[in-house]
A and B are shown apart, each in its own frame.
Chain A
Amino acid sequence: AQSVAQPEDQVNVAEGNPLTVKCTYSVSGNPYLFWYVQYPNRGLQFLLKYITGDNLVKGSYGFEAEFNKSQTSFHLKKPSALVSDSALYFCAVSFTGGGNKLTFGTGTQLKVEL
């Protein structure tokens, strides 16, 4: 069975500093990895995905993530955080034969402060 771990419930960072939100996964076969963001009282918004190819993928709002197969990780990064990036971030995984069902991590609350 597939699983996703987001080891940090909350990440605090000062505006302008780089941010990292961690994600590790476990899946049989080739993983397809996703990051979603959730703002208060809103649904999940797609940020980026890794399917195949370059390990560094770029997504919306200046976010990027690096796929590391040996470490089974897919950490979300941004070079310079904004206060408006404060939200709940979810990592998710699916795989071929899984019918596109997503397995989510428990989420990481990102707080960017002035």
Chain B
Amino acid sequence: GAGVSQSPSNKVTEKGKDVELRCDPISGHTALYWYRQSLGQGLEFLIYFQGNSAPDKSGLPSDRFSAERTGGSVSTLTIQRTQQEDSAVYLCASSSTTQAQVGQYFGAGTRLSVL
């Protein structure tokens, strides 16, 4: 597709369940980022991937959060044992390099609601 694709667009889950969020970046983009947008916290960086390098996980809020990027393309963000405070919009972005001056292209996000 032409843009960053995320699925599902909405996810409702019960507290304690695991969830997986998917991101399909723009074809050819080597860098992929996950951010979280929540009320009162704004937009927070979670993790990013660049090629075959080890991902930068410095923004992950707890060890319940993990992410993978298979084959340098699609990425999955997994949240284990979800808590109500995990409710947020999870945004994925991609860019052609990790040079700081390159803009990032964002998907529409996955809205996660933990009941």
Q: Are B108 and A42 in contact (CB under 8 A)?
A: yes
Main secondary structure of the interface of B (DSSP, over half): strand
Of the four ranges (under 10, 10 to 19, 20 to 34, 35 or more), the interface on chain B belongs to 20 to 34
Please report the total number of A residues contacting B with Cβ < 8 Å: 28
Q: List 10 A-B contacts (CB under 8 A).
A: A32-B100, A46-B105, A51-B101, A52-B101, A99-B50, A101-B33, A101-B59, A102-B45, A103-B45, A104-B42
Give min CB distance, A79 to chain B, whole Å: 24
A96 touches B106 (CB 8 A): no
B107 contacts the other chain (CB 8 A): yes
- Which of A94, A96, A104 has a CB less than 8 Å from the CB of B43? A104
B48 at the interface (CB under 8 A from A): yes
In whole angstroms, how far apart are the Cα atoms of A67 and B43 in the complex? Answer: 22
Q: Which parts of A27-60 form the interface with B (CB within 8 Å)?
A: 32, 34, 36, 41-46, 49, 51-52
